[in-house]
Structure 1
Amino acid sequence: MEYFIYALNHTYTDESHTDTKFLGFSNSIEDLEELKTKAVILSGFRDYPESFFTDCYILDKIHWNEGFQEVIGEIGRDYILKGDEIDDNCISIKELGLNTVFSVSHYYTIHSFLDDERYVGVFSSLEKAEKAIEELKNKPGFKDHQNDFNISKLDLATLLWKTGF
């Protein structure tokens, strides 16, 4: 059985660039809407109220299985552009009773104004997050920066971006 988690992002484009801000994970669409309600009143977010996007991601899935070859993404940051395809065999993590998840990313500094960052996946336990990192350490790109993985323990239904922009 596969499980999925909801994610809330805010992606906007102004005259100079496109920017994405990850706002949080949730096990229900209702909690995600509550996060959006909290964020839309903050400066910046309220200027682009149509720029909130909900995606679903499969829990315990590595999104960069092949590693990477080059710096990609806006200012070196690359976020998954679209969530996973969720079918009838995939159910919400609400069934698991989780209160927290472990988000894995990989980032390193290229120079003082440029980081290269990739979102790897969201995992149900610290052990599964660590196992994913071990699987990736010898893949292209990652093997040159093995110590640049980051695991974040995140509470569900919690707004991660507390200020405006």
Structure 2
Amino acid sequence: MEYFIYALNHTYTDESHTDTKFLGFSNSIENLEKLKAKAIVLPGFRDYPESFVTDCYILDKIHWNEGFLEVIGEIGRDYIEKGDDIDANCISIKELGLNTVFSVSHYYTIHTFLDDERYIGVFSSLKKAEKAIEELKDKPGFKDHQNDFNISELDLDILLWSTGF
């Protein structure tokens, strides 16, 4: 059985750049809408109310199985373009009763104003997050920066950008 999680992002473009802010994970669309309602009144977010993006991600899935060969993306950040395709056999993580999840990313500094960053996936346990990292350490790109993985334990239904921007 596969499980999925809801994610809320805010991606906007102004005169000078495009920026994406990850706002949080949720186990239901109703709770995700509550996060959006909290964010939309904050500075920055209220200036771009049409820029909220809801995605779904399959839990315990690695999104960079092949590694990487070059720095790509805005300022070296390479985000997953869209969420996973969710079918009728995939159910919400609400069924698991989780209060937290483990988000895995990989980033390193190229020089003062340039980081290379990739979002790896969201995992149901620390053990599964660590296992994903072990699977990736010998892949192209990652093997040159084995100590640059990051695991963040995140509470569900918490707005991560509570002051706006």
Q: Do both share a fold (TM > 0.5)?
A: yes
State the partner residue of 1:43. Answer: 43
Identical-residue share of aligned pairs (%): 88
Cα drift, residue 16 of structure 1: 0.7
Cα drift, residue 70 of structure 1: 0.5
C-alpha distance after superposition, 1:13-66 (max 9, x if no partner): 011110000000000000000000111111110000000000000000000000
Cα drift, residue 79 of structure 1: 1.2
C-alpha distance after superposition, 1:120-149 (max 9, x if no partner): 000000000000000000000000000000
State the partner residue of 2:106. Answer: 106
Structure 2: gaps spanning 5 or more residues: none
Structure 1: gaps spanning 5 or more residues: none
Question: What TM-score comes out, normalization by structure 1 length?
Answer: 0.99
Letter in 2 for 1:160: L
C-alpha distance after superposition, 1:73-104 (max 9, x if no partner): 11111111100000001000000000000000
State the partner residue of 1:79. Answer: 79
Report the RMSD for the aligned CA atoms in angstroms.
Answer: 0.5
Q: How many residues align?
A: 165
1:145 aligns with 2:145: yes
State the partner residue of 2:12. Answer: 12
CA distance in 2 between counterparts of 1:40 and 1:73 reads 26
SS at match of 1:42: coil
CA distance in 2 between counterparts of 1:142 and 1:161 reads 29
CA distance in 1 between counterparts of 2:126 and 2:90 reads 22
CA distance in 2 between counterparts of 1:75 and 1:117 reads 9
State the partner residue of 1:59. Answer: 59
Letter in 2 for 1:124: S
Please identify, of 71-80 and 86-95, the stretch whose mean Cα deviation from structure 2 is larger.
Answer: 71-80
